Amino acid sequence: MLGLMQEWPLLCHKLIDNAERQHGLREIVSRSIEGPIVRTTYADIHRRALKVAQRLERDGYRLGDRIATLAWNTARHIEAWYGIMGIGAIYHTLNPRLFPEQIVWIMNHAEDKAIFVDLTFVPLLEKIAGAVKSLKQVIVLTDRAHMPRTTLPNVVAYEDWLNEADGDFAWKVFDEGTAAGMCYTSGTTGDPKGVVYSHRSNVLHAMIAAMPDAMGLSSRDTILPVVPMFHANAWGLGQSAPMVGAKLVMPGCKMDGASIYELLDTEKVTFSAAVPTVWMMLLQYLEETGNKLPYLNRVVIGGSSCPRAIMTKFQQNYDVQVIHAWGMTEMSPLGTLCTLKPEYAALQGEARLDIQQKQGYPPFGVEMKVTDDDNKAQPWDGKTFGRLKVRGPAVARAYYGGAGAEQFDEDGWFDTGDVAHIDAGGYMQITDRAKDVIKSGGEWISTIDLENLAVGHPDVAEAAAIGVQHSKWGERPLLVIVAKPGKEPTKADILDFMDGKVAKWWMPDDVAFVGEIPHTATGKIQKITLRKQFKDYRLPTD
Ligand code: ADP
């Protein structure tokens, strides 16, 4: 017997409809690319997104068409997303930090037909647009007065283009499984791979993310998504915020400590999310100026492992709760968040940080397990590590065009490529990327643990651990360090500091000091490049 409940397809435009009806006057504040702070509301965004949809349809775009965006977090970018999705087309966020050739490759692979582009990226697009065969139209996210002189063909200012629509439009209706958005993983190995979100997965992910033990979002929050919309969906905040009716503060292109602080303070932001590097810049700015964070209540930190020093500073010096989170583009992106179950709530000091340092546990809607190389599930004992596999309604079941099929198990699990262990309380801790883990004499050494420990040294700005050839052990750890400006720590300083804090056989065999560590387009340490750089390195122990 089937249930007798209504069909109510989970479509993304219902999120913005709800925001308009229930929270119409709630503000969306943007640091515009032109410069000034611009204030709009959910009612404005709803009205303008309808115009985007109407205008796109009039220009000939249809269900399933891929429409790219190359833009920062602003209200206009949000309007574009909802307008695109509202006709059943697919927003395709492009990461401007990729190499231009990679962007061309990705656009051609996705066959993007049009693009919404911020002023910042017009020069970049001018260089590559000719190489994208499918591209028919460029919409620059600005008004006529700020329109630059450009060599781009078929180009129009967003506000002019929008003004030609009256907004008298009804969202298209289609199946909730219809594709809504697209995002390519940066592809540190091989070509980038396209992840295709559906309306259903986006709506469910927004609900999952908003739950109290996940991000705990409500209409009383003021949310500052520092994490860009082009990096894994801004961790779902572009959907979760309108779902709950929270005020949104969009940082535009300025992510330095002073600019982020200004928004946190003047807009009384209660909740924010970003990668560790952004928080490092903010904390440094706060230390220099002596400013405080009276309104900020909690920050989500993810994308790479959150150093303990960041957690301590936020919680002890500024009374801001840190929620360490893990996820990936393929998971929409949230996988786990480290909020405290009641059995840990009373923990204080280092014992509390020991839990918070973990990446956390998955909310309802994400299942996880760790397996050995034979796909045998490992015990949840907090130490046996293996490949981390996940499944759920907002986890990819394939890549666009069928690439990377080996990552999808026949039994419906997705192999994340991360290495982790899970403890008896259900908390997961990432120890490595499978391709980065150091294999010493058949045993695995976690590079993340070594790095987190090393950056705790007061003179260390950044640290990366890599495996280097060793005739006896196969590989042994080399620690690569960038010192803080004006500091000159020695190898002995670093090793003495680490001594006793990790197993003896995990201790790096050597420490190398460099001026800079290479990063990927999503801000992660580029281990491949680093390993190449140290390919012929001779360890003193060998
Ligand atoms: P890309 O792979 O394109 O850089 P993603 O954001 O999809 O972008 O990266 C996901 C990966 O980032 C995860 O598989 C994991 O290796 C790493 N990661 C994300 N959050 C954390 C975290 N809190 N701790 C450690 N690693 C993390």
Which amino acid does the sequence have at 469?
A: Q
- With a cut of 70, say whether residue 188 has pLDDT above it: no
pLDDT tens for each residue of 117-164: 999 999 999 999 999 999 999 999 999 999 999 999 999 999 999 999
Helix (H) or strand (E) holding 438: strand 438-440
- What residues act catalytically? 185, 330, 439, 444
Spatial contact of 31 and 251, defined as CB atoms under 8 Å apart: yes
Query: How far away, in angstroms, is 413 Cα from ligand 1 center?
Result: 18
Query: How far away, in angstroms, is 303 Cα from ligand 1 center?
Result: 5
- With a cut of 90, say whether residue 189 has pLDDT above it: no
Q: What is the pLDDT of residue 99?
A: 87
Ligand 1 touching residue 282 (CB < 6 A): no
CA distances from 372 to 82, 369, 443 (A): 42, 10, 13
pLDDT tens for each residue of 249-295: 999 999 999 999 999 999 999 999 999 989 999 999 999 999 999 99
- With a cut of 80, say whether residue 116 has pLDDT above it: yes
Query: How far away, in angstroms, is 333 Cα from ligand 1 center?
Result: 9
If one residue of 330, 524, 529 were mutated to test the ligand 1 pocket, choosing by the most ligand atoms within 8 A of its CB, it would be: 524
Q: Which domain holds residue 462?
A: 438-533
Bridge partners for 274 per DSSP: 301
Residue 517: how many CB atoms within 10 A of its CB? 18
| CA neighbours closer than 13 Å in the CB half-sphere of residue 222 | 19
The residues near 361 (Cβ < 8 Å, ≥ 6 apart) are 336, 337, 338, 341, 425, 426, 427, 428
What average pLDDT does this structure show over 233-253?
97
CA distances from 314 to 444, 453, 461 (A): 32, 18, 18
Could you say which of 253, 270, 297 is where a domain stops? 253
pLDDT tens for each residue of 441-479: 888 899 998 998 999 999 999 999 999 999 999 999 999
Residue 311: how many CB atoms within 10 A of its CB? 23
Query: How far away, in angstroms, is 328 Cα from ligand 1 center?
Result: 5
Could you say which of 203, 237, 253 is where a domain stops? 253
Is 269 inside a domain boundary? no
Q: What is the pLDDT of residue 225?
A: 98
Bridge partners for 183 per DSSP: 93, 195
How far is residue 224's CA from residue 341's CA, in Å, rounded to a whole number? 26
The ligand 1 atom at the shortest distance from the C-alpha of residue 524 is 4
Q: What is the pLDDT of residue 103?
A: 96
Q: Tokens 């990729």 appear where?
A: 98
The ligand 1 atom at the shortest distance from the C-alpha of residue 359 is 23
Ligand 1 touching residue 303 (CB < 6 A): yes
Q: pLDDT above 90 covers what percent of the chain? A: 90
Pick the residue with more confidence: 232 or 521?
Answer: 232
Q: What is the DSSP string of 489-524?
A: --HHHHHHHHTTTS-GGGS-SEEEE-S---B-TTS-
Is 393 inside a domain boundary? no
Spatial contact of 527 and 478, defined as CB atoms under 8 Å apart: no
The residues near 533 (Cβ < 8 Å, ≥ 6 apart) are 518
**Nearest in space to 430 (alpha carbons), one of 309, 303, 302, 305:** 305
The ligand 1 atom at the shortest distance from the C-alpha of residue 448 is 25
Could you say which of 220, 253, 286 is where a domain stops? 253
Q: pTM of the prediction?
A: 0.92
Bridge partners for 356 per DSSP: none
The residues near 172 (Cβ < 8 Å, ≥ 6 apart) are 53, 63, 86, 87, 88
CATH number, domain containing residue 33: 3.40.50.12780
When computed from its CA atoms, the radius of gyration of the chain, rounded to whole angstroms, is: 23
pLDDT tens for each residue of 350-368: 999 999 999 999 999 999 9
Ligand 1 touching residue 524 (CB < 6 A): yes
Domain count for the chain, please give it.
2
- The mean-pLDDT minimum among 9-23, 31-45, 228-242, 510-524 falls in 510-524
If one residue of 93, 328, 419 were mutated to test the ligand 1 pocket, choosing by the most ligand atoms within 8 A of its CB, it would be: 328
Bridge partners for 415 per DSSP: 389
Q: Tokens 């560590």 appear where?
A: 517
**CA 194, 199, 203: angle at the middle one, nearest 5?**
115
Is 421 inside a domain boundary? no
The ligand 1 atom at the shortest distance from the C-alpha of residue 330 is 7
Is 143 inside a domain boundary? yes
Helix (H, G, I), strand (E, B) or coil at 15: helix
If one residue of 304, 332, 448 were mutated to test the ligand 1 pocket, choosing by the most ligand atoms within 8 A of its CB, it would be: 304
Query: How far away, in angstroms, is 141 Cα from ligand 1 center?
Result: 30
Query: How far away, in angstroms, is 428 Cα from ligand 1 center?
Result: 14
What average pLDDT does this structure show over 79-98?
97
CATH number, domain containing residue 453: 3.30.300.30
- With a cut of 90, say whether residue 435 has pLDDT above it: no
Ligand 1 touching residue 236 (CB < 6 A): no
The ligand 1 atom at the shortest distance from the C-alpha of residue 417 is 14
